[in-house]
Amino acid sequence: MIKLLQIEYNKISRYWIFWGMAIILTVGLTTLYWGIEPFINENVKGPSNAPIPIPQFSLYEFPNIWHNLTYLAGMRFFLLFPALLITLIVTNEYTYRTLRQNVIDGLSRNEIVTSKIILVFVISASLVVLLLINGFLLGLSHSKDSSILLVFEKFHYLGAYFLEVFAFGMLALLIGTLVKKALFAIGILLTYSVILEPIAHHYSPEWLQRIFPLAAIGRLIDVPNSGLMRMFGVNFRTYIDFLDVIIVLAWTIIFALLTYLIIRKRDL
């Protein structure tokens, strides 16, 4: 395990696209986390001169901050960035024919896949850590009550966010492995997630809608039920549905197994 992690680290340590993407995501998400409340407040008041009476609320108060931030970070647009990066890293191994060389040098085919799954895991965990750090900073500076119980009350949303990034990353790993060509793989990933699945989802019966992988990922964390939303009379789910977790986990395992299967059967 440690060895595979070291190998993956060696591969990306001088890969500027990886670090470029890491910086874009860090800066982008941090700006999102810190800017979202001022942005919403300004825009709700902004358009008309007669300000709507907004109930006092903060996105950054414990424990709801975890729900609010994970919902934002888990939007498909933001999930696509790490997924595209993973696709690129996987297809690179084919472009450079290094995957073949890795096997020749003595890695097993299973280790090849496992090392990439570790990479997806580390990328997902890093994004959770980024959210965690920002969440604590924002939460501690905006909450009146920072008692331990309150701070950790909705911590499980972090787990759901991790699952979202990880599952999406595993889909990217599968597509990259299947298609081998970077541009082609990225095209398929984008077309599927932005066009194909949403359309198929729209025309499917309700029971099937729940099963679509990206739809299930999207359902994991529902729109935060803030005071603002309640004002408009909408009520969103304030809990994580266990069935969605099961569906996403099942897809993640299917993506992983298919990737193992392809690499085992294929002539490299």
Partner 1 sequence: MNSILQIEGLSKKFGKIEAVKNLNLSINQGEVFGILGPNGSGKTTTLGMVLGVVHQSAGTYKWFGQEPSNDIRKKIGSVLETPNFYPYLSARNNLKLAARIKGVDFSTIDEVLTTVGLFERAESPFRTFSYGMKQRLAIGAALLGNPQALILDEPTNGLDPQGIAEIRQLVTKIASRGITIILASHLLDEVQKICSHVAIIRKGQLLFSGAVDSILGTTDSLEIGAENMVALQQHLLNYQDVKEVKQENGLLIVNFSQKPNPADLNQWLTNQGIYISHLAYRQRSLESQFLELLKNPSKS
**Residues that bind partner 1 in the complex, under the rule CB under 8 A:** 3, 6-7, 10-11, 13-16, 92, 96-98, 100-108, 111, 265, 267-268
Minimum distance from residue 202 beta carbon to partner 1 (Å): 40
Minimum distance from residue 92 beta carbon to partner 1 (Å): 8
On the question of a cis peptide bond just before residue 63, with omega within 30 degrees of 0, the verdict is yes
Minimum distance from residue 121 beta carbon to partner 1 (Å): 19
Nearer to partner 1, 107 or 150 (CB): 107
Nearer to partner 1, 10 or 49 (CB): 10
**How far apart are the C-alpha atoms of 198 and 92, rounded to whole Å?**
29
Nearer to partner 1, 3 or 237 (CB): 3
Q: Which residues contact 132 (CB under 8 A, 6 or more apart)?
A: 158
Minimum distance from residue 178 beta carbon to partner 1 (Å): 18
Q: Which residues contact 68 (CB under 8 A, 6 or more apart)?
A: 36, 59, 60, 224, 226
In angstroms, what CA-CA distances link 74 with 13, 17, 67, 161? Answer: 26, 22, 10, 6
Nearer to partner 1, 98 or 191 (CB): 98
Q: Which residue is it, tokens 């081998």?
A: 180
Nearer to partner 1, 237 or 264 (CB): 264
Minimum distance from residue 12 beta carbon to partner 1 (Å): 10
**How far apart are the C-alpha atoms of 73 and 223, rounded to whole Å?**
12
Minimum distance from residue 206 beta carbon to partner 1 (Å): 44
Minimum distance from residue 95 beta carbon to partner 1 (Å): 9
Nearer to partner 1, 111 or 241 (CB): 111
Nearer to partner 1, 4 or 40 (CB): 4
